[in-house]
Structure formats: C-alpha cells, structure tokens
C-alpha cells in the first residue's frame, strides 16, 4: 500500500504531470494540495479514466485539496468539523481501513502577521480533531503540506531562515504537539540523505542549488508506523518542464 502527498500548485496547470506521474507510479492513494479549482472545474472524468476514485473540495484561486484512490473511499469529510473555515484545506476519507487525512496547512506569511495567528489556530484545531479521530481509527495517516520544517536539518540554511515562518519555535511546537498524540514522521523512521527537502523556491535556482525545505510530511499512527517499510521524496517531477515547486512524498506500508 503506497500513500502519497503532493502539493501540485494548481491542478489545472499540473493535471498532465499528475497523470503522467501516476502512470509510472501507480500508487494506491494520492493526496493533493493547492488544486486552486472550484468543484465545478475539477477534472473528475480525466482522473477516473486513469483508474482513480476521487474526493475533493476546492475554491477559487487559492487552496483546494483532493484524495485520489484506487480503492473505495467512505466517510468523506470536507474540512475540520470543529473549525469553521471558508478556506478549503482538509479532506479525509477511510480507505482500506485507514483513516486518510489530506491537509494543506496555512502558510502563515510571517510570524508577526494575522495569517500566522490563523495558522496556529488552524493547526491547534487540527490537533483537537485528530485526537478525536484517533479514538475512532487506530490506523490513521495525515498527509499534506504542513508548511512547517520540523528541525534545522530540514532547512538548507537554518541561519538564513531565523525569524521566518515555516521554522518558528511556535510552529515547530505545534507540529511536535500533534506528533505527540502518538504519530510518527514516517520520513524519519528511515535513514535519509542529508539535505533532503520537499520544496524548493522557483527563484534563484532553488532546486538546482538544492536550496529547499522539508515541509511536506506523512504522519502515521503507531499501528501504521509499524507497517511502514519506506518513505521517500521523489525529486523526478521537480525536474520536469513547468513543475510544481513541491515534490511528492511516498510512504509504503507492508
């Protein structure tokens, strides 16, 4: 069983790349963030033709999330039921006994901004909801763009990032608090190359110079963590023409 998260930065632009990637990587579940599409514009037919069922919730211009699955999806939940939010950032479904949560955590802009406060509030509400979901589902996975680099080793140049969002003590504490519910950062269950990142700035040769951050994560409940045999970042589609600025992260469960 392979579970993937990928922020595609506009599914309208990236649909051909998503379909191409799925052809060579016929994974079971693909969680997508930043579709940037209203539901009436969602390319459901094209995705179903590729052999995937799909659940999605979107809005104009910003945000938007989707789950593509080779298996049946039940109990589809759009957004956090405990958090009123106009922004479409969460979709969840139960797939083969696994509660799959696809999340696009707010960016937060800068630590002194209103958007940062929204990010922290949003994230605290996510934790409260996940705590509840974990009482119902021992097999639970949260995949997404967390917009948080957990540790300095997840940042190409930690000194240059001091004072920025994505790396602040508040954000890192919030992520740690979520993980402390009993989740595992699947990427760190395994030996990984140094300077492994999942996002690189389009500007200033970010990818070529590997100036990136690791902000896309797959968190697994204890039962799933035991079954996890690998977690890798696929840098290949980041090298394609007109790529997303994020790379897919793939967890394999036995």
Partner DNA sequence: ATGGCATCGCGCCGATGA
Backbone angles phi, psi at 233, to 5 degrees: -100, 125
Query: Least distance to DNA from the beta carbon of 5, Å?
Result: 12
Q: Candidates 130-138, 177-185, 198-206, 225-233: pick the segment binding DNA (CB under 7 A).
A: 198-206
The residues carrying an active-site annotation are: 104, 145, 246
88 binds DNA (CB under 7 A): no
d(CA 17, CA 20): 5
Q: Candidates 11-19, 44-52, 175-183, 223-231: pick the segment binding DNA (CB under 7 A).
A: 11-19
CA dihedral 223→233→16→109, nearest 10 degrees, is 90
185 binds DNA (CB under 7 A): no
Candidates 16, 23, 51, 62: give the one binding DNA (CB under 7 A): 62
d(CA 8, CA 15): 9
Helix (H, G, I), strand (E, B) or coil at 176: helix
Candidates 53, 109, 227, 252: give the one binding DNA (CB under 7 A): 109
82 binds DNA (CB under 7 A): no
C-alpha distances in Å from residue 21, one per residue of 37, 43, 87, 173, 187: 20, 16, 28, 34, 21
9 binds DNA (CB under 7 A): yes
Residue 109's Cβ-side half-sphere holds a number of Cα atoms within 13 Å equal to 7
Q: Candidates 49-57, 89-97, 187-195, 200-208: pick the segment binding DNA (CB under 7 A).
A: 200-208
Q: Decide: residue 102, CB within 10 A, 0-12 exposed, 13-18 middle, 19+ buried.
A: buried
* Number of other CB atoms surrounding residue 122 within 10 Å: 21
Candidates 90, 166, 174, 218: give the one binding DNA (CB under 7 A): 166
210 binds DNA (CB under 7 A): no
> Is 245 flagged in the annotation as binding?
yes
DSSP structural state of residue 80: -
Q: How many residues does the chain have?
A: 254
- Alpha helix positions (H), 162-232: 169-179, 222-227
Query: Least distance to DNA from the beta carbon of 1, Å?
Result: 27
123 binds DNA (CB under 7 A): no
Candidates 51, 60, 72, 226: give the one binding DNA (CB under 7 A): 60
- Segment 217 to 246, residues that bind DNA, using CB under 7 A: 242, 245
Using CB under 7 A, list all residues that contact DNA. 7, 9-10, 12-14, 34, 36, 60-62, 106-107, 109-110, 115, 145, 147, 165-166, 199, 201-204, 213, 215, 242, 245
Q: Which residues are annotated as a binding site for Mg(2+)?
A: 7, 34, 145, 147, 245-246
């Amino acid at each position: 069983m392979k579970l993937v998260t990928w922020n595609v930065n506009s599914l309208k632009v990236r649909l051909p790349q998503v379909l191409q990637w799925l052809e060579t990587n016929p994974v079971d579940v693909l969680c997508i963030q930043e579709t940037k599409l209203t539901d009436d514009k969602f390319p459901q037919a094209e995705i179903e033709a590729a052999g995937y069922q799909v659940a999605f919730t979107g809005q104009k211009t910003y945000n938007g999330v989707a789950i593509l699955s080779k298996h049946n999806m039940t109990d589809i939940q759009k957004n956090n039921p405990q958090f009123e939010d106009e922004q479409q950032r969460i979709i969840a479904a139960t797939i083969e006994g696994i509660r799959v949560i696809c999340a696009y955590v707010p960016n937060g802009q800068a630590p002194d901004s209103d958007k940062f406060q929204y990010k922290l509030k949003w994230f605290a509400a996510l934790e409260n909801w996940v705590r509840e979901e974990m009482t119902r589902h021992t097999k639970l996975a949260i995949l997404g763009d967390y917009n948080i680099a957990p540790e300095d080793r997840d940042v190409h140049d930690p000194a240059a990032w001091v004072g920025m969002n994505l790396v602040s003590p508040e954000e890192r504490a919030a992520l740690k608090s979520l993980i402390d519910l009993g989740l595992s950062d699947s990427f760190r269950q395994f030996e990984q190359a140094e300077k492994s990142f999942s996002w690189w700035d389009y500007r200033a040769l970010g990818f070529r110079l590997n100036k990136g951050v690791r902000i896309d994560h797959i968190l697994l409940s204890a039962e799933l963590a035991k079954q996890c045999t690998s977690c890798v970042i696929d840098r290949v589609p980041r090298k394609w023409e007109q790529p997303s600025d994020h790379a897919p992260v793939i967890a394999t469960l036995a």
